[in-house]
Chain A
Amino acid sequence: MSALIAILFYLATLLFVVGLLQRIRTYAATPAPLKIPTTPAPTTTSGVVLRMTREVVFFESLFKANLWIWSMGWLFHASMALVVLRHLRYFTDPVWGWVAAIQPFGMYAGLTMLAGLCGLWARRLIVERIRYISTPSDHLILLLLIGIAASGLTMKFVAHTDVIAVKNFFQGWMAFSFQPLPSDTVLVLHLLSVVALLVIFPISKLLHAPGVFFSPTRNQTDNPREQRHLSAWAAKLESEK
């Protein structure tokens, strides 16, 4: 079982990294032929960095759009960020100081992450408009994340697992040596769900995470009169004449 999970994690990590890099490369390589920032937009690069930071850290546009989605969504993402950072303790030895420092918060973050996810799912089920636009995969991805959070929390609060052994397993995994994994069902469930998450990430709507950085309406500088902006394929039209 341990070996199987180790192998699955190698494969999933490979798919995740290669898939994501390939996707990011596609985004980066695709030209944006016209200046289309949603205005009012920053007129300088530092302004754009600030705008993007506000979008990524605070979900600024979503805040303007809908406080319900914003509060649930932000709660979920911020909590998830804390949880994932907290998980770094399995992959670092000695554990970095700041990772150790956030451990106590991480615990509650697991709970708030679950709460946020449930709130989002409730919205998806209850609000007519959002139910209308939802596909089965939208529900399943939420369920998957709820499963990850619930199984993690179960280990934390109900059926404890041997976290030292888990750490040993992943330390070994990183050095390509197989170590035994505690054979708790909940842990296996948690890990298999994470494998699934890694695999679907580069082929699903989870691409919103890299996507946001490439969105021309958000990442372009509002300076079209001051700077000529010309993509390679559009420039070709000029040389033909």
Chain B
Amino acid sequence: MAEITAPAYRVIPIIPALKPGAMEGKGPFVASEKINEAIGFPGQLVEDWHDKAIARFGELLQKYRSLRVYMDACVHCGACTDKCHYFIGSQDPKNMPVARQDLMRSVYRRYFTLPGKLFPKLVGARDLTREVLDEWYNYYNQCSECRRCSVFCPYGIDTAEVTMAAREILDSIGYGQKYSNEIIGKVHKIGNNLGLPGPALEDTLEGLEEDVKDATGIDVKFPIDVKGAEVLLITPSADFFAEPHIDSLIGYAKVFHATGTSWTLSSIASEAGNFGMFIGNYEQLRKIALRIREAALELGVKRIVVGECGHAWRVAYSFWNTLNGVGDGAGEVDKFAQMLQKQLDHRYKQPTHICEFTWDHIQQGNLRFNKSLNDKHVITFHDSCNVARGSRMGDLPGGQFEIPRNIIRSVANNFVEMREGTTHEQTFCCGGGGGLLTDDLIDIRVKGALPRMEALHQVQQEHGVNFMATICAICKAQFTKVLPIYGFDRKVVGGVHQLVSNAIILGDQ
């Protein structure tokens, strides 16, 4: 592969000119027969893929109102055209959200609408040819499902929903993406995305206990599979060994320790991530989420807390109650959900984000910090898409923005915001979300990071920012990879609980 370089910063963030075909190609590695069959998809592209794909498309139109309405409603107004980081970084017009949708909408019109059947040219309808199918595979794997476009569309058209539907169709005919499907296989087989088996996990946790003891002199525990613990922590498996993720895991453990909370991890649910969402497959999404239910029931916990992971928090916050019953408000006759909800302690929100947990305790005065220990950092906060636009924290809309920032301000002295229009619900994706965090997509990942890197560069120049905190495992991994390509130190990225961990006062110090 040619060496990947970063695109130049735009002088002022103007809208780029179009470069048709800039990101044409074969797309990421296609999943092998073995990978596909392990999770119940056809091994390779089926003979009658055309008819199967159209049939599946038709089914999805009946199952998802989002898809149904979004296929019809777009007026081609163009409001979304300059909102996607992949378009900004690559200038490929097919990475404009509306053009990405149109890859599918053109087929929708041809097979499911009268004008498209009669006058395909007039309404931009296309037959589903092999070229079109390959185009789907390529460009629907250049969307991180970040939902930035849906913020700006007058009808809220969410390209993520369209991308999920496209990937679901592709999977159903044996044309899935290697990275996501392989990971889903690992979750089912081993319990987490990284394929870290139980004994290895236990070793890692023991090692961590020793490390923290050496550094602080305090016995901070990292318990696993403890029946009767109050809190079950569900966290992305990258937290167990990847840098800088692990520093946040240490942060959570210290918060639990300092607040005297009994907690546990679970070896059958040692993964918060749920790639079922990325591939738009409800059955996979549900099946992966059910592992958390199983762990919660088995361990008899009262609370479920979720670690720093963007899409996992979206799944947990928005979908868990639907998928596995972790939540509140199930009907009397809803045995499935009641079974779990009776066990949970509803004085707390179920599930709770680790930031909600920490912030509650900070507000109650249960945690003490030596803020000056973070003085080497000038900190900014990168809102992760799935947290920003697909979830909430606390009681008020927008809590997902305030609570992490409140924590940072409570544990550190130097905090600055990045440019308006690049944070909060208008935040730019890191470039690696939605199942794109794989080396075979490094080119688009680097290009997609451009708007975020520009904003970071600006606060680095103006305020000397040297730490970008975030609460997403994918953001952390993606930035660690692309920061150096843009000329930053890879250690610029880190977790919010990494900062908490630096400053927290344990024991009577």
Contact = CB atoms under 8 A, between A and B. Distances in A.
Interface in A82-138: 123-124, 127-130, 132-138
Contacts of B70: 215
B244 interface: no
Given A129-B96, A130-B76, A137-B122, A224 B62 contact: no
A40 B81 contact: no
B231 to A, nearest CB: 16
**Interface centre among A65, A136, A204, by most B CB within 10 Å?**
A65
A39 B391 CA distance: 6
Nearest to B330: A228
Nearest to B327: A225
Contact of B79 (A23, A62, A225): A62
A133 B102 contact: yes
B398 A224 contact: no
**Interface centre among A31, A62, A129, by most B CB within 10 Å?**
A129
Interface stretch (B148-156, B465-473, B479-487): B148-156
B347 interface: no
A215 B319 contact: no
Interface in B255-278: none
A215 to B, nearest CB: 4
Contacts of B8: none
Given A36-B161, A225-B317, A228-B331, A61 B122 contact: no
A212 interface: yes
B93 interface: yes
A126 B425 CA distance: 30
B322 A34 contact: yes
B110 to A, nearest CB: 12
Contacts of A211: 69, 72-73, 155
Interface stretch (A5-13, A147-155, A157-165, A231-239): A231-239
B358 interface: no
Nearest to B152: A65
B9 interface: no
A229 B63 contact: no
Contacts, number: 223
B321 A228 contact: yes
B99 interface: yes
A140 B79 CA distance: 20
B282 A215 contact: no
A233 B63 contact: yes
B124 to A, nearest CB: 3
Contacts of B93: 129, 132-133
B441 interface: no
Contacts of B397: 39-43, 222
A208 B322 contact: no
Interface in A4-28: 23, 26-27
Interface in B99-121: 99, 102, 113-115, 121
Nearest to B17: A128
Name the interface size band of chain A.
35 or more
A207 B282 CA distance: 28
Interface residues of B, number: 78
A14 to B, nearest CB: 16
Interface string B217-254: 00000000000000000000000000000000000000
B90 to A, nearest CB: 14
Interface string B368-382: 000000000000000
B390 A39 contact: yes
B155 A215 contact: yes
A55 B151 CA distance: 12
B143 interface: no
B83 A65 contact: yes
**Interface centre among B93, B147, B391, by most A CB within 10 Å?**
B391
A185 interface: no
**Interface centre among B17, B151, B351, by most A CB within 10 Å?**
B151
Interface in B115-174: 115, 121-124, 147, 150-158, 161
A173 interface: no
B115 A207 contact: no
Interface of A: 23, 26-27, 30-36, 38-43, 55, 59, 61-62, 64-66, 69, 73, 123-124, 127-130, 132-138, 140, 200, 203-205, 207-208, 211-212, 214-218, 222, 224-230, 233-234, 237-238
Interface of B: 15, 17-18, 61-66, 68-70, 72-83, 93, 96, 98-99, 102, 113-115, 121-124, 147, 150-158, 161, 282-283, 286, 317-319, 321-322, 325, 327-331, 334, 336-337, 349-351, 388-392, 396-398, 400-401, 425
20 contacts: A31-B63, A129-B18, A129-B81, A130-B76, A132-B96, A133-B93, A211-B155, A215-B155, A215-B156, A217-B66, A217-B158, A218-B155, A222-B397, A225-B327, A225-B350, A225-B351, A228-B329, A228-B331, A229-B321, A234-B286
Given A35-B319, A43-B397, A233-B63, 10 more contacts: A23-B72, A34-B318, A55-B154, A123-B78, A132-B99, A207-B73, A211-B69, A216-B65, A225-B349, A225-B350
Closest 6 CB pairs of A and B: A211-B73, A135-B124, A65-B152, A217-B156, A40-B397, A65-B79
